[in-house]
Amino acid sequence: MTTPVELKCPTCGALLAMEDVNMATDMALCRACNKISRFSDLVQEERDEEILDSIPQRMSVAKTARGLEVTYRRPKGVGFFLLLFTLIWNAITYVAVFAMMGETGHGGIFGQLFLIPFILVGFGTLLGAVYVLFGRMTLTLTPGRGELFRGVGSLGRRQQFLLAKDARVSIEASNIQQNHKVLNKIVVEQPDGKPFEFGTGIAEEEAQQYAAALLRQMRG
């Protein structure tokens, strides 16, 4: 009796039989080469083929000299909201600043110092609006290796990570909440034991699944 979905050994490509699968221990044995694999990983790889059939919205994939580049851009609506909020916030804040500058004495100085946090909030929301409207998250992948870039244009942060052959790539709940909803993250197992985590800024579940499936495919 074979499995309902034909599962193949990742080492030799032989078909696996149901009697060689132990779901309780999440293990599958290939009798052709005696390789033991995680059953859940084999099932996930079958799903990955379907996931990679179509590219989600707000994602683009391109082959470059550096490798396969996968770029995700956040929904623009949030950026326009932040920009409108920033304009209103800063308008009110700077009117108050100029009013305080016209005052003299300790009261005027104290008022100006009191407004500093409000100025910083306005600056922070402006940066947030620019990032959402013009920023990007780009994964550059080659077999066995990856690089994550987050920023605007060429300005931003780059992080390197490994994609080992047997590395586990999963989507898990993070410690971050948004609108009372727990955000998920992509977790990539690393040889040093400290996983590489990212992806809480990806709003769509299908986009997270696509990135995770591509990472699993690029393990080398």
| pLDDT given for residue 102 in this prediction | 67
pLDDT tens, residue by residue, 166-212: 888 999 999 999 888 999 999 999 999 999 999 998 989 999 999 99
Q: Exposed, middle or buried by CB within 10 Å (0-12, 13-18, 19+), for 70?
A: buried
3-state secondary structure at position 178: strand
Q: What's the confidence (pLDDT) of residue 186?
A: 96
CA dihedral 8, 13, 14, 17 (to 10 degrees): -10
Sequence-distant (6+) residues with CB within 8 A of 81 are none
For the question of whether the overall pTM of this predicted structure is more than 0.85, the answer is no
Which residues, 6 or more positions from 143, have their beta carbon under 8 angstroms from its beta carbon? 163, 218, 219, 220
Of 13-17, 57-61, 106-110, 191-195, the one with minimum mean pLDDT is 106-110
What are the residues whose beta carbons fall under 8 Å from the beta carbon of 181, sequence distance 6 or more? none
Angle among Cα 13, 14, 19 to the nearest 5 degrees reads: 135
Tens digit of each residue's pLDDT (9 = 90 or more) over 76-102: 887 888 889 999 998 988 888 777 776
